[in-house]
């Protein structure tokens, strides 16, 4: 029988599981237990502020406390991004990336949500792996703790943008975000947690209805139907009109701008047809467009735009009144950037 893992639980989950098993426990005790495990990252027993011995014994017997092993780490000397490769208890490999933030000495963590990915986006190395399995909530939290343990400063954010499509593993991702943002968990502000999706419309609608406090980032990348279908095969399941309605409804529900990601590929999705499509589909919807350079190491792969192509595209977007941010996708020197996570053992560079 698989035991629930401590790192995937909120205090109320731990309390409910113990009570269900006939173990008497107080809410303060489950809060103390999980603060020890997640806030302090300590899975060993006994704990700093001890619990009653009989309760410690019950928790030790009823919950998993294994941790993944860090088997490789690679630092990009250009920008300080650090990629960790973790081996999970079943042997699966999972990657997480430490991202230096502009605020000096602060970091965010890019977390994977699946081993591989089934979405097959044309510009993404993870998509070429295919899907091996979903990650469980505790595995995402454990990856966060592994990165945080090695960080030279405070970790103040988390983004679910590593390997995998987060909304294809919806429940586990939301649970991991809850644990990371809980005061007895990762203590990350909910606004500093971002969850990305390539455009799974039913899950976007569910997320909107459930009113989660984390920031949603929706990858659009093309507004020309035949291009989007070629770049993001998910478009065959959820067409652009459906996606645009879901984005508009999310914006209306939140009363603010929706972050829309755009992976920039020179000569592919940077022209006037894309800008016209954006106006047609989402004109008047409050958006912020996050422009990301494609990272494709293949010799014949996609290339990011040069300064002139980028400038033209950005000016055309601004003329529509769409605020634009350029997101730096670092770690490319160590295959740690967006679209490059493919679980290779690199040999280590730290
Ligand atoms: S871009 Fe994201 S959704 Fe698309 S294949 Fe890569 S990991 Fe999957």
Q: Render pLDDT for 41-89 as a digit per residue (tens, 0 to 9).
A: 888 877 766 788 899 999 999 999 999 999 999 998 888 899 999 999 9
Ligand 1 interacting residues, C-beta cut-off 6 A: 117, 119-121, 124, 126-127, 163-165, 198, 339
| Ranges of each domain in the chain | 6-62, 69-334
Supply the pLDDT for residue 244: 97
Residue 302 in this model has a pLDDT that exceeds 50: yes
For the residues 228-232, what does the mean pLDDT come to? 96
Residue 129 in this model has a pLDDT that exceeds 90: no
Residue 231 alpha carbon to ligand 1 centre in Å: 11
Lowest mean pLDDT among 7-16, 60-69, 335-344: 335-344
pLDDT above 90 as % of the chain: 83
Residue 122 alpha carbon to ligand 1 centre in Å: 9
Per-residue HEC secondary structure of the chain comes to: CCCCEHHHCCHHHHHHHHHHCCCCCCHHHHHHHHHHHHHCCCCCCCCCCCCCHHHHHHHHHHCECCCCEEEEEEECCCCCCEEEEEECCCCCEEEEEEEECCCCCEEEEEECCEEECCCCCCCCHHHHHCEEEECCHHHHHHHHHHHHHHCCCEEEEEEECCCCCHHHHHHHHHHHHHHHHCCCCCCCCHHHEEEEECCCHHHHHHHHHHCCCCEEEEECCCCCHHHHHHHCHHHHCCCHHHHHHHHHHHHHHHCCCEEEEEEECCCCCCCHHHHHHHHHHHCCCCEEEEEEECCCCCCCCCCCCCHHHHHHHHHHHHHCCCCEEEECCCCHHHCCCCCCCCCCCCCCCC
Q: 127, 163, 228: which to mutate for ligand 1, most atoms within 8 A of CB?
A: 127
User: pLDDT band for position 141 (50/70/90)?
Assistant: very high
Angle between helices 170-181 and 137-150 (to 10 degrees): 40
Query: Distance between the two ends of the chain, CA-based, in angstroms?
Result: 39
Average pLDDT, the chain: 92
Lowest mean pLDDT among 14-18, 61-65, 287-291, 326-330: 326-330
CA nearest ligand 1 atom 7, residue: 164
Residue 165 annotated to the active site: no
Supply the pLDDT for residue 104: 81
**CATH topology classification for 69-334:** TIM Barrel (3.20.20)
List 15, 29, 95, 139, catalytic entry: 95
């Amino acid at each position: 029988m698989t035991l629930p893992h401590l790192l995937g639980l909120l205090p109320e989950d731990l309390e409910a599981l113990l009570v269900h098993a006939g173990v008497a426990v107080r809410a303060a005790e489950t809060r103390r237990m999980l603060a020890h495990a997640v806030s302090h990252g300590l899975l060993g027993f006994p704990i700093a502020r001890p619990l009653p011995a009989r309760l410690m014994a019950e928790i030790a017997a009823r919950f998993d406390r294994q941790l993944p092993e860090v088997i490789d780490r690679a630092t990009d000397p250009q920008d300080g991004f650090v990629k960790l490769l973790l081996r999970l208890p079943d042997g699966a490999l999972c990657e997480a990336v430490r991202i230096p933030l502009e605020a000096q000495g602060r970091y965010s963590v890019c977390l994977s949500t699946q081993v591989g990915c089934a979405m097959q986006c044309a510009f993404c190395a993870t998509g070429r792996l295919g899907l091996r399995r979903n990650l469980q909530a505790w595995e995402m939290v454990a990856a966060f703790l592994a990165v945080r343990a090695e960080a030279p400063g405070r970790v103040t954010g988390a983004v679910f943008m590593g390997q995998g499509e987060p909304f294809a593993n919806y429940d586990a991702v939301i649970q991991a975000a809850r644990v990371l943002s809980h005061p007895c968990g990762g203590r990350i502000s909910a606004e500093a947690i971002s969850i990305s999706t390539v455009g799974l419309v039913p899950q976007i609608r569910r997320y909107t209805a459930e009113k989660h406090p984390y920031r949603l980032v929706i990858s659009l990348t093309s507004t020309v139907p035949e291009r989007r279908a070629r770049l993001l095969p998910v478009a065959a399941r959820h067409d652009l009109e459906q996606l645009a309605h879901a984005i508009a409804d999310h914006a209306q529900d939140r009363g603010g701008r929706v972050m829309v990601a755009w992976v920039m590929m020179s000569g592919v999705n940077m022209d006037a047809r894309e800008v016209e499509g954006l106006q047609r589909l989402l004109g008047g919807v409050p958006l912020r467009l996050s422009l990301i350079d494609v990272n494709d190491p293949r010799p014949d792969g996609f290339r990011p735009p040069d300064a002139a192509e980028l400038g033209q595209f950005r000016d055309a977007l601004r003329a529509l009144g769409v605020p634009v941010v350029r997101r730096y996708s670092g770690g490319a020197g160590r295959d740690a950037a967006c679209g490059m996570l493919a679980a290779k053992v690199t040999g280590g560079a730290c």
